[in-house]
Amino acid sequence: MSLTAPLLAALLAAAGPVVPADPPGTPVAAPAEVQAAAAPCPVAVPAPPGPALEDVPQNIADPAAPPLSDPAEIVVSGQLKPPKEDPLRAVNAQSFAVVSKVDDAIIGPLASAYQHGLPEPARDGIHNALSNLSEPVVFVNDLLQLKPVRAGKTLLRFVINTTIGLGGLFDVAKKKPFKLAHHNNGFADTLGFYGVGPGPYLYLPLIGPTTVRDLFGRTLDLALLPAAVGAPFSSPQFSLPNSAFKSMDDRVRFDGRQRSFRDDTSDPYGAERAWYLQLRANEIAGLHGHHPELTTPIPFAIPALAMAPACPAEQPIKP
């Protein structure tokens, strides 16, 4: 007994003063930050244009905060998470402005002529053939990511569409009885799958939005067939028309997204950057079995909406 009393006294002293609990039913007054976090609409915080969606500023609990002076008061302290850096923003924004002007003057009219000059079945056939040519790259990267079942389906899809689908003009493999849908994959995805970060964001003529990792992976994608097969994939007579048709096909299919970025936002460069970085992050996450929803980064593209009384609706974008 002589040792127990001093031991209990020491433990109580180390634990600090005992704060009496509030009676049941006592309302707890929370500060404005906590009340806002519980509201149905998120609190819009003005942010520099262009951060990715994971850069939403948030208050986080600070475990190092001082002890509460009032047991009926809840204190949440912390700091805003800074947006990801865009070290090449000045160059990228200038490139974006130039490419936008060229797109309005040349690429846009050409894409419109392509869209309205060719019947939809012909454009679908070109799209299917271009997609079929990408299947060997998808197959190799399925294997590199240790997904043999997925790689087998990719190979079977390529064989079916190349033979029954007349060189890929018809996507027979996605229909019954095969039901083998196309999925994108490339060396940039494999690098991301194994933890290689995207690196600085780039906006390049003829390529558009990309990153250092994605640009390197794209180069390997384009070099695979010429290096492995040779002619005709290594000849300019094949590669130049293939690139031109792919550019027109992409431009027509993503026209709505580009117009919304460039016409409906106060910072089109920042909006496209945010969209692209989120898209790529979601695609890499999908390789690990996670499928976050891709939404329009309106609060970042239009800072004026931060003062709007109602929450802006987020509509999914289908890339």
- How many CA atoms are closer than 13 Å to the CA of 116, on its beta-carbon side? 5
280: DSSP letter: H
pLDDT tens-digit profile of 187-243? 999 999 999 999 999 999 989 999 999 999 999 999 999 999 998 888 888 988 888
Judge whether 311 lies within some domain. no
- The Cα–Cα gap between 303 and 271 comes to 11
- pLDDT at residue 304, as a whole number: 28
Judge whether 131 lies within some domain. yes
Q: Residue 91 pLDDT more than 60?
A: yes
pLDDT tens-digit profile of 70-87? 444 434 333 334 346 899
Judge whether 304 lies within some domain. no
In terms of C-beta density within 10 A (0-12 exposed, 13-18 middle, 19 or more buried), how is residue 240 classed? exposed
At residue 277, what is the residue type? L
Q: Residue 145 pLDDT more than 60?
A: yes
CA dihedral 45, 48, 52, 57 (to 10 degrees): -30
Judge whether 243 lies within some domain. yes
Helix (H) or strand (E) holding 112: helix 108-117
- What are 299's two structure tokens? 């609060």
User: Which residues is 73 bridged to in the sheet?
Assistant: 29
- Contacting residues for 97 by C-beta, under 8 A, at least 6 apart: 269
- The Cα–Cα gap between 194 and 147 comes to 13
Judge whether 180 lies within some domain. yes
- Contacting residues for 266 by C-beta, under 8 A, at least 6 apart: 49, 301, 302, 303, 304
Judge whether 156 lies within some domain. yes
Judge whether 96 lies within some domain. yes
* Counted domains in the chain: 1
Range of the domain at 138: 89-254
Tell me if the pTM is above 0.75.
no
- Residue bearing the bigger pLDDT, 74 or 265: 265
* 61-62-63 Cα angle (round to 5): 110
- What are 76's two structure tokens? 């949440």
Mean pLDDT of 109-127: 93
| Burial annotation 94-124 (CB, 10 A radius, 16+ → b, else e) | ebbeebbeebeeebbeebeebbeeeeeeebe
Judge whether 215 lies within some domain. yes
Asked whether the beta carbons of 287 and 193 are under 8 A apart, the reply is yes
Q: Residue 7 pLDDT more than 70?
A: no
Asked whether the beta carbons of 172 and 178 are under 8 A apart, the reply is yes
Four-residue CA torsion sign, 124, 125, 131, 132: positive
- pLDDT at residue 159, as a whole number: 98
